[in-house]
Amino acid sequence: ASFPNGPETFANFRRSGFPALTPNPYPGRAISGAFIRRLSYPDSELSVNLGNVQQAIGRQGPDNLDTRVWWDK
């Protein structure tokens, strides 16, 4: 039912754990052996809003894929 709505699908997966997916087995920037918790800030946001992005990172934690968002802590 949430097929065309990616953010809702992602939130439903994180909330329910369904469907049972295999975590990412590949090393690199993505987290190995786990699922991402959030998306990184896009480069366009960094180029036009760096001050606020740095302030948000200071409050929320590092800009990493495994950092929990404020509503997931």
As a whole number of angstroms, the distance between CA 40 and CA 37 comes to 10
Show Cβ contacts of residue 13 under 8 Å, excluding neighbours closer than 6 positions.
19, 21
Name the more confident of 31 and 13.
13
pLDDT at 55: 96
Average pLDDT over residues 37-64: 92
Is residue 7 predicted with pLDDT exceeding 90? no
